[in-house]
Amino acid sequence: MSRRGHRFFVTEHLELGARVTLPRRVSHQLVRVLRLRPGDRVLLCDGRAIDFVAELIELDPERTVAVLVDAQPARPLPPPPIVLLQALLRHDHFDLVVEKATELGIVRIVPLHTQRTVVHLALRDVTQRLARWQRIAMEASEQCGRGTLPEIDTPSTLDRALATVRTARLLVFWEAPEAEAIAHASFSPDQTVTVAVGPEGGWTAEEIALFRRHGAEFRSLGPLILRAETAAISGIAAVQARTRPTRPQFREPGEPAAPPGSSAG
């Protein structure tokens, strides 16, 4: 739950003053889990970066009706816009990357089939896994307060992904000694960055050559060998930390400014 209250994404286009019927997923949560009552308020978001204050009128686990009584900006995404190229991982490790990358504010995730990827999905499995990733991203977005959902592509080969994802900067995390430390990099807040993280076995020489042909920068996350999911999370955070700030710190409506030197945010 955010500091503003319980928050849910819905697919319906929201307008201030409208009555909305909430989906069963949300209705069940409101009635069975949160045990809210008529007159209680929650936040609804339709992916347009606006949080609508919804007053509950009728509650039922199958069907809840609310009226939208106020609207306020959702939390902005931190700069710069980041696209994550992430090799598919075993078990639930990719789920963790989707969740944490969403919380960190990335705008797009492109799952990759690489030469050392050990996860191979059948067409039926791709459909199910994509729906799972989208659900994880939506729940993470509800929790962290972002007002837009990240785009999640169907799994792609590396060469196809590089042909379709064209951004100003392509950053590849690599454990080789020639990769310069990410601490030496700096990023523009308005320039989209594509970040590439390999599978458990790392990138092959052929894949490194492909990245070079696309003008990639190779960066290191330090002297230790990180798990792929750790590299993705820390890499995104490192890019954000090395980005020049351009706007004042976000504050909740009515929240006083943090004192100088405070880490609140």
Query: 3-state SS of 117-130?
Result: CCCCCCHHHHHHHH
Q: 113 versus 124: which is more confidently predicted? A: 113
Q: How far apart are CA 136 and CA 145, in angstroms?
A: 14
Mean pLDDT of the chain: 91
Buried b or exposed e, range 137-155, using 16+ CB within 10 angstroms: bbebbbebbbbbbbebbeb
Average pLDDT over residues 67-93: 95
Give me the pLDDT at residue 264, please.
43
Which tens digit of pLDDT belongs to each residue from 103-120? 999 999 999 999 999 888
pTM of the model: 0.89
Q: What share of the chain in percent tops pLDDT 90? A: 84
Of 4, 35, 24, 5, which is closest to residue 65 (Cα–Cα)?
24
Angle (CA) 39-41-44 rounded to 5° is: 140
Q: How far apart are CA 107 and CA 148, in angstroms?
A: 8
Q: Is 95 exposed, middle or buried (0-12, 13-18, 19+ CB in 10 A)?
A: middle
Q: How far apart are CA 243 and CA 74, in angstroms?
A: 21
Q: How far apart are CA 16 and CA 18, in angstroms?
A: 6
Average pLDDT over residues 135-146: 96
* Separation in Å, CA 177 to CA 87, 173, 218, 219: 21, 12, 10, 10
How confident is residue 253, by pLDDT bands cut at 50, 70 and 90?
A: low
Four-residue CA torsion sign, 198, 199, 200, 204: negative
Q: What domains lie within the chain, and their CATH numbers? A: 7-73 (2.40.240.20), 82-241 (3.40.1280.10)
Which tens digit of pLDDT belongs to each residue from 2-26? 556 899 999 999 999 999 999 999 9
pLDDT for 94 beyond 50: yes
